[in-house]
Structure 1
């Protein structure tokens, strides 16, 4: 994906954000600082596209208020919209639940966490593109939240698009993302 994005003319930078961060403050600060550093070192347009996958959505949502004037669009791939909903989902799967709670404790130094991700994504003015993998069940309980988010954005006449894709068709994802990014590039 990164190779194809760079071939299409995009300058791509990324970080694993300290691996299992679950949207903690350190991941948000690191992302914002990385943006600031790159803007100081490179001659680039200040407005960027944000791509987030899975739990990266938790960090991306918290970047929206910090960077709202510098975001062109956001692409969410198989997003985790709500950490609370994901914890609920994993409670029925004891092994995964224990593992998840260890990760959350390591990321936040506490076991009870609330991150408001729905509001910033729902209210941002920029275009939102969600790619949901149908046969992936990592964040399967997020589908209802994603549908609510889509409805709220449509009611407010905010740009939103969703594509459902089968995992075996993942080779088309990058082309869909590039098309979306190109559509959201205006002379600024």
Structure 2
């Protein structure tokens, strides 16, 4: 597949080009353990993600993403890089000004900050097994010592604090996942049944979904069985296409 690889803030980024462009672009904000380097990346190497990429390209979508400092957990520098990446792609490519976002797991944390300044530039958002609350996830991981230590290390690196100040970091951490309850951007939640990485988010997501439905905001919730994961690709494409009538 044709692509362009480049660096922003010393982080590798990639744009994938469709053979027959439809003029719309999709920003992918990936989960833990994703990567983008000079030669390859997680989304074109991992079989299920690769299939989604191919399905999007076949429908004419530009796709772009970044290594984004690895396991960034929604850090300020990750948010800044995302904004820079969006600006760069809009300036360098001939695409519609309003982009789609597909955010998986950890990547979903960044969307709150993006919508605060750029909601008008977002056409739709698809969340795949999202982590919307870092606080909830921290609490979940504290029940398992090994995972707590791993998360503490990643947070200290991404938010740039000494591990001995971990408790202070938790106390001053500010977030508002309930922004989604009244966000006017169309939102689709994809939940892969059996996935437990962010199980502490389930009730939060369900409550947000219900409030969006009550408020008559454009919202979908899709539950997908493990053996049917590939079927969610067409659901995602259909959801994106549904909100492209107004340029």
* TM bracket (short chain): over 0.9
Gap change, CA 1:119 and 1:86, over 3 Å in 2 = same
Indicate yes or no: 2:102 matched with 1:43. no
SS for the counterpart of 2:64 is coil
Gap change, CA 1:52 and 1:117, over 3 Å in 2 = farther
Corresponding residue for residue 122 of structure 2: 71
Point out where structure 2 has 5 or more consecutive residues left out of the alignment. Answer: 1-51
Question: Cα RMSD over matched residues?
Answer: 1.2
Indicate yes or no: 2:218 matched with 1:159. yes
Point out where structure 1 has 5 or more consecutive residues left out of the alignment. Answer: none
* Aligned counterparts of 1:60 and 1:168: Cα–Cα separation in 2: 28
Decide which structure has greater helix share.
1
SS for the counterpart of 1:55 is helix
Decide which structure has greater strand share.
2
Indicate yes or no: 2:112 matched with 1:61. yes
TM score, norm. by length of structure 1: 0.95
Corresponding residue for residue 178 of structure 2: 119
TM score, norm. by length of structure 2: 0.73
* Aligned counterparts of 2:132 and 2:73: Cα–Cα separation in 1: 11
The runs of at least 4 consecutive aligned structure 1 residues that moved more than 4 Å come to: none
Deviation of residue 124 (structure 1)?
A: 1.3
Corresponding residue for residue 91 of structure 1: 142
Bigger RCO (CA 8 Å, 6+ sep): 1
SS for the counterpart of 1:131 is strand
Counterpart contact for 1:62–1:120, Cα < 8 Å: no
1:19 pairs, out of 59, 70, 85, with 70
How many residues are treated as equivalent by the alignment?
188
* Aligned counterparts of 1:47 and 1:29: Cα–Cα separation in 2: 18
Deviation of residue 115 (structure 1)?
A: 4.1
